[in-house]
Structure 1
Amino acid sequence: MTAQPSPPELIGQSRAFLDALDHASRIAAVDRPVLVMGERGSGKELLAARIHFLSGRWGGPLVKVNCAAMNETLLESELFGHEAGAFTGATKRHLGRFERAEGGTLFLDEIASASLRVQEKLLRVIEYGEYERIGGEQTRIADVRVIAAANTDLRIKAEDGEFRADLLDRLAFDVVAAPPLRKRQDDIMLLAAHFASAVATELNLSFPGFSAEAAMALKNHSWPGNVRELKNAAERAVFHWAELDGKGLIDEVVLDPFEAAFGPFGASASPKPEAPALSPPVSGARYDLRAHLNEVEKTLVSEALAAHGGNQKQAAEALSLTYDQMRGLVRKHDLT
């Protein structure tokens, strides 16, 4: 017996993430176009799949196409198909994605990359449910729900004439926002453990967990690449841990794999934080030198940790300290 399709696994417990899931679940029941907006790597495709599998079209196909991966001619052919002889190289009939998605859902990723010509044809098929293959004369009827995704504000594109305003109106029956990972703090360690555990299993190892230092580095990172970047970092950490000795907790996370070869991005070397200038005591006044030096020490350690994503080993090297000295200072100044 063939297994019934089901919504994809979506992991998270943060408020922003649960709100996005709830929104996607509610719009699934309404058979209208939907826009899923969000940064790269934030899970737009997973939300689109959830909408499909929770809709009345769940038994139909879910067909995906990345509009940014093809030029205008190829994208038009992929979406609407072509007849044999329609253009040079078209030796046989090609069924487009709309035909393959019949009765189901078509997911158009990176919709902002589609040319105005393709956008015009998309508007027609969404508005009237009609299209023709390239080189064909027969008008075909499409029973397809369109879900489009973009990582840029399409309102600005439309205002600048780079995106058809009428197509945007049709697509935006509702807009589901995929939250960036920086707004999902409660999900970072949950996702990191999930990805790390999966790759550890591939390596025939048991995932031991992340140390407090590694967890701090993960939590403090801004994750411009979102969940995709976190997945790479977590899997990379397990690989390096296994390569080293595979014992104890995973205590090092390489957030930038290019840093070892080229140094920190945007800088030739990691600058050591400068100590704040010492203010001379007022003549005749008492001066608490010990308290001042203690504050200077705390400031230097805090800035070094921040500059290296919470990695105590790298921060120690930046301050010419041993790892044990750095750990002692972190405990002393309660910087955990």
Structure 2
Amino acid sequence: MEAASHSAPPGEALGQSENFLAFQEALSRAARVERPVLIIGERGTGKELAAARLHYLSPRWGEPLVALNCAALAPSLIESELFGHEAGAFTGAGPRRLGRFETAHRGTLFLDEIGNIPLTVQEKILRTVEYNSFERVGGSRPVEVDVRIVGATNADLPALARAGRFKQDLLDRLSFEVLTLPPLRQRRGDAELLAEHFALRMAREMGWDAAPGFSPAAREQLGAHPWPGNVRQLKNVVERAVYRSGRQEITSFDFDPFASPFAPPPQVEPPLAPRPAAAAAAEPPRPFKEAVAAYERRLLRQALEDARFNQRRAAELLGLTYHQLRGLLRKYGPDQSL
């Protein structure tokens, strides 16, 4: 989901377990209050579907729902995607382009993988949330917006904030309500319900009038599997079983499509041969300080490139103060071949 704008509600989430129903009740309650919401959950639990349901249960249901997967873009592009840019704002910018905040005006902006947003852009989001206005990249005129932000992640945002990789002020503003999606392994009975739903849908796609049934052993497999990929993994497993079944009852599920008696053996790296004493003496290991210096230079170079050589932005990307960055640049500056 790199980006999307929805105009109609998506398919309903399915479940009848106590944990799932409690989450849906909390989501419905939060939808009515027009404040930021964070949705936390493992991969494959349906965070995008939960965000869409929250939007369509809110007073903004008739306005745009605009989504951006923050992990699908290079850090240097996220600011332009969110806030747009003026014509010629940077090399290759082209004509004026509206960002996601503007296209979500009066609606909801869903930021998936929000923990991947660079610190410099986090600061601009914070100002936008506080003042309901921003400036496009390369612009100077304030643009006013009315947007509700819904963020989603499987990362530990408080831990990122403590490590200096997520702004605590922004976390405080976005966490008016935090909703945690239960993983499928903690939704007793829901795996079988979802499996029947996916099986029927796959059967219809195959042109069949009915879905194949599940044997008792297959149903037991559904309940016992830990489902590390959650609903997304369940969907793949069930659909694969249906299409392979030939309309016959499904007696077992194949959880690993890569398993095969004909698969090549795993590649094992051969152990390193001991180095001759003479070679070891001629080629000593790289000194520790030299290796650390090379690593620091790579980090500095990458941060400067991502920040378009804006040193204050580069410092924020690295979690350093501006003066700390300046000290490192003096240490590894042009004379040191940074």
Identity of aligned residues (%): 54
Secondary structure of the equivalent of 1:185?
coil
Partner residue of 2:260? 260
Partner residue of 2:217? 213
Q: TM-score, normalised by structure 1?
A: 0.74
Distance in 2 of aligned mates of 1:8 and 1:49 = 10
- Specify the code of the residue in structure 2 equivalent to 1:149: A
Q: Is the 8 A contact 1:8 1:50 kept in 2?
A: no
Q: Is residue 10 of structure 1 aligned with residue 1 of structure 2?
A: no
Post-superposition offset of 1:5: 3.9
Change (3 A) 1:7 1:202: closer
Q: Is the 8 A contact 2:44 2:231 kept in 1?
A: yes
Q: How many residues align?
A: 260
Secondary structure of the equivalent of 1:176?
strand
Deviations 1:89-124 (A, max 9, x none): 111111100111011000000000111011111111
Q: Is residue 120 of structure 1 aligned with residue 123 of structure 2?
A: yes
Structure 1 segment 57-136 matched on structure 2, within 5 A: 57-136=60-139
Post-superposition offset of 1:262: 8.0
Post-superposition offset of 1:266: 9.6
Change (3 A) 1:67 1:189: same
Change (3 A) 1:72 1:261: farther
Distance in 2 of aligned mates of 1:91 and 1:61 = 25
Post-superposition offset of 1:73: 2.1
Q: Is residue 40 of structure 1 aligned with residue 43 of structure 2?
A: yes
Distance in 2 of aligned mates of 1:266 and 1:188 = 32
Change (3 A) 1:102 1:266: farther
Secondary structure of the equivalent of 2:38?
strand
Secondary structure of the equivalent of 2:71?
helix
Partner residue of 1:143? 146
Secondary structure of the equivalent of 2:231?
helix
Post-superposition offset of 1:185: 2.0
Q: Is residue 222 of structure 1 aligned with residue 236 of structure 2?
A: no
Deviations 1:129-174 (A, max 9, x none): 1111111111111100000001011111111111111110000001
* Unmatched runs of 5 consecutive residues or more in structure 1: 269-336
* Equivalent of 2:33 in 30, 40, 54: 30
Distance in 1 of aligned mates of 2:79 and 2:13 = 32
Structure 1 segment 184-195 matched on structure 2, within 5 A: 184-195=187-198
Post-superposition offset of 1:82: 0.6
Q: Is residue 231 of structure 1 aligned with residue 242 of structure 2?
A: no
After superposing the two structures, state which structure 1 stretch, 208-217 or 155-164, moved more. Answer: 208-217
* Unmatched runs of 5 consecutive residues or more in structure 2: 1-6, 269-338
Larger Rg: 1
CA RMSD of aligned residues (A): 1.9
Post-superposition offset of 1:70: 0.4
